[in-house]
Amino acid sequence: MQFKSNVIVTGLKKFKGDVEGNSYDSTTAYIQMDMDESKGVARGHASQDYNIGTSAEFDRLVAVKLPFEAEATFEMTTTGKTQRQRVIALVPRPVAK
């Protein structure tokens, strides 16, 4: 299942290189999420990390000033026991002038 949501991206980090003979190429986006306030022990926001693709995604977004608003396309999948949510597209929203 896929859905779109307006999000705030608070940070980006890329890695491209070899570690112990294995090649890696990725970009992590840190997206602001609401804390679970249902138990009364947390409030506010935290940033959740999502892999958004290769280091080319970082390079594509390098000129965008942080933090920024974006439209994220999330994909939710399940094994029948556990649920996984990932970001499959991240498009910055135009900055109001």
- What is the mean predicted confidence (pLDDT) over 82-89? 96
- Measured CA to CA, the distance from residue 34 to residue 43 in angstroms comes to 8
Which stretches within 11-96 are classed as H helix?
55-61
- Check whether 97 has a pLDDT greater than 90: no
What pLDDT is attached to residue 16?
97
Specify whether the CB–CB gap between 28 and 52 falls below 8 A: yes
Q: How many CB atoms lie within 10 A of CB 75?
A: 13
pLDDT value at position 95? 79
Q: Are 35 and 43 in contact (CB under 8 A)?
A: yes
Phi and psi, residue 21, nearest 5°: 85, 0
Which of 50, 58, 59 lies closest to 7, judged by CA?
A: 50
Per residue in 7-58, pLDDT (tens digit) is 999 999 999 999 999 999 999 999 999 999 999 999 999 999 999 999 999 9
pLDDT, position 6: 98
Domains annotated on the chain, with CATH: 2-92 (2.40.50)
pLDDT of residue 78: 97
pLDDT score, position 96: 74
